[in-house]
Amino acid sequence: LFFELFEQLRKVGAKIILVITGHYGPCQVKCLKDVAEDFNRCYQDVRVIVQPEYEGVEINGETPADHAGKWETSMFWHMYPELTRMDQFRTGKVTVHTYPNPPHNYYHESPTWEWKENLRETASPELGEKAVNAIVDHLVSIIKRELNKTLKDRSTQHS
């Protein structure tokens, strides 16, 4: 599916394809990175880059990655303040929706999660803005680096 998508983007002239996996599951990230690696081997005229948004990013020595913790909450709060209802957040055990008998239950998630970190104290829209800006800056630097390589490769081919 993704290989086909990359081929379609190549047909319309894409030279760099950046895929943000959007989740931290190692199974999903590895799958997409493997497809990108295969595609890059087959097509030298296009570069596919796959990564979770946090990869290669640090803020005060910390990687801005968690699951509904201070980082994700802060980023969501920054981008969608009208949808963030921190007044409803509680620490302690909560029951979350799980799928009965999921196929290939890779993570073996329990329906009971325990929130230990008080996100009303650790998360903020300001932290979210800092994280979003750092992530965007990092991704832009990757794209610029790859564009420069592409331009350099073209100029050496025409020399």
Percentage with pLDDT > 70 across the chain: 94
pLDDT value at residue 159: 62
Domain ranges of the chain: 1-52, 59-159
Could you tell me the pTM of the whole model?
0.84
Position 23 scores a pLDDT of 67
Please tell me the predicted confidence (pLDDT) of residue 100. Answer: 78
Percent of the chain at pLDDT > 90 equals: 74
Long-range contacts of 124-129 (CB under 8 A, 24+ apart): 124/74, 124/77, 125/74, 125/77, 125/78, 125/81, 125/84, 126/74, 126/78, 127/70, 127/71, 127/74, 127/78, 128/71, 128/73, 128/74, 128/75, 128/76, 128/77, 128/78, 128/79, 129/78
Read off the pLDDT of each residue in 63-83 and give the average, rounded to a whole number. 96
Residue 154 is predicted with a pLDDT of 67
Indicate the range of 37-51, 93-107, 136-150 predicted with least confidence: 93-107
